[in-house]
């Protein structure tokens, strides 16, 4: 691995750090312009002006915005996410348990979605313009057109209520057996799988078909290789870079975009935690969740960029 690759990787990492810093500014600014008074929402409408003034001073709300931002940023750099205004709990401790649940859900959705999407993409290419290709494309196009909440409610109605195969509320807790935990996340994991499956499958199909136009594919055909061997040995390895990119983007969505799914199934993850505290106008929690979601999304995008660089010989060996 030469210096050009290291330079490209360093550029991606530096850009990611800069982007995360910019996002932190936007998150902080966005939470500051929200309507309402934090002190009022904590103490209630019956609070006296003196009590409100004391709480604002205690929370540092009277300081200039830039002072509060750098205080918050310094805390982040030291791993201190602060304390929730609504209950006084340490945010890092609460977020740790919620993030673990979200990653568990996203992991099992990815375990099903990624291999299935790549396999369906390969099958669609093998039967290009045939009945199987059209059936797979039409089915995935239908699922990608439906919003998460619709898919979730359909699964709740038919699978949880009508068939009673799985619970409609995905309750998980410490000490729960692995089998019970898997049963609890079956419906939200299925919803997430259906949401990301179509995009990954269609991008896999498009990437392989693009490679199939290359001259070396024609050479392989002239050698008498079967269509499946051509796809497996020649087309798929050379289409891996765009496939890795789209897989990583969808993995980022599985972690960051679970808010709607977690709310629908009352799943105790980061999304549900964020929505609960938005309703309470708990600014420190909203800021912490926002920056964690942003960090996960940016890190997975950096990994996708690095994987694309390492899998692309033209980037590894530029002329």
pLDDT tens for residues 164-183?
A: 888 888 887 777 788 888 88
pLDDT at 301: 82
Q: Set out the domains of the chain in order of their start, with CATH numbers.
A: 3-35+81-316 (1.10.3720.10)
**C-beta of residue 293 within 8 angstroms of C-beta of residue 3:** no
Dump pLDDT digits (tens) for 76-130: 888 777 777 777 777 888 888 888 888 888 888 888 888 888 888 878 877 777 8
Q: In degrees, to the nearest 5, what angle opens at C-alpha 280 toward C-alphas 56 and 254?
A: 125
Q: Which residue has better confidence, 234 or 16?
A: 16
The 10 Å CB-count burial string (b at 16+, else e) for 142-178 is ebeeeebeebbeebbeebbeeeeebbbebebeeeeee
3-state secondary structure at position 31:
helix
Tokens encoding 213: 């136009």
Dump pLDDT digits (tens) for 281-294: 778 888 888 888 88
Residues 6+ apart with CB under 8 A from 94: 84, 273, 285
pLDDT at 280: 72
For the chain, state the CA radius of gyration: 24
Residues 6+ apart with CB under 8 A from 75: 81, 82
Using CA atoms of 280, 284, 289, 295 in order, give the dihedral in degrees to the nearest 10: 160
Estimate to the nearest angstrom the gap between the alpha carbon of 89 and the chain centroid. 26
**Residue with structure tokens 């201190």?**
80
pLDDT at 316: 56
pTM for the structure as a whole: 0.75
Dump pLDDT digits (tens) for 204-247: 788 777 777 776 666 766 676 677 677 766 676 666 777 777 77
């Amino acid at each position: 691995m030469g210096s050009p690759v290291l330079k490209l990787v360093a550029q991606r990492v530096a850009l990611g750090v800069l982007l995360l810093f910019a996002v932190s500014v936007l998150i902080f600014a966005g939470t500051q312009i929200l309507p309402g008074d934090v002190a009022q929402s904590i103490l209630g409408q019956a609070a006296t002006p003196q009590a409100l003034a004391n709480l604002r001073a205690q929370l540092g709300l009277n300081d200039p915005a830039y002072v509060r931002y750098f205080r918050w940023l310094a805390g982040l750099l030291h791993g201190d996410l602060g304390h929730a205004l609504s209950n006084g709990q340490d945010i890092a401790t609460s977020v740790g348990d919620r993030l673990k649940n979200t990653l568990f859900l996203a992991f099992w959705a990815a375990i099903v979605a990624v291999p299935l999407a790549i396999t369906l993409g390969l099958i669609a290419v093998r039967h290009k313009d045939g009945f199987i290709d059209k059936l797979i494309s039409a089915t995935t196009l239908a699922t990608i057109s439906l919003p998460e909440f619709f898919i979730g409610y359909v699964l709740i109605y038919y699978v949880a209520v009508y068939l009673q195969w799985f619970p409609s509320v995905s309750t998980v807790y410490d000490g729960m057996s692995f089998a019970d935990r898997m049963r609890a996340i079956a419906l939200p994991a299925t919803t997430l799988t259906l949401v990301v499956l179509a995009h990954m499958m269609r991008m896999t199909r498009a990437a392989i078909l693009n490679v199939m136009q290359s001259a070396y594919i024609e050479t392989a055909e002239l050698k008498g290789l079967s269509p499946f061997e051509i796809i497996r040995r020649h087309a798929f390895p050379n289409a891996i870079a765009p496939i890795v990119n789209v897989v990583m983007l969808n993995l980022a969505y599985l972690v960051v975009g679970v808010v709607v799914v977690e709310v629908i199934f009352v799943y105790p993850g980061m999304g549900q935690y964020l929505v609960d505290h938005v309703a309470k106008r708990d600014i420190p929690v909203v800021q912490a969740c926002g920056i964690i979601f942003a960090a996960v999304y940016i890190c997975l995008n950096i990994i996708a960029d690095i994987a694309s660089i390492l899998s692309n010989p033209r980037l590894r060996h530029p002329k």
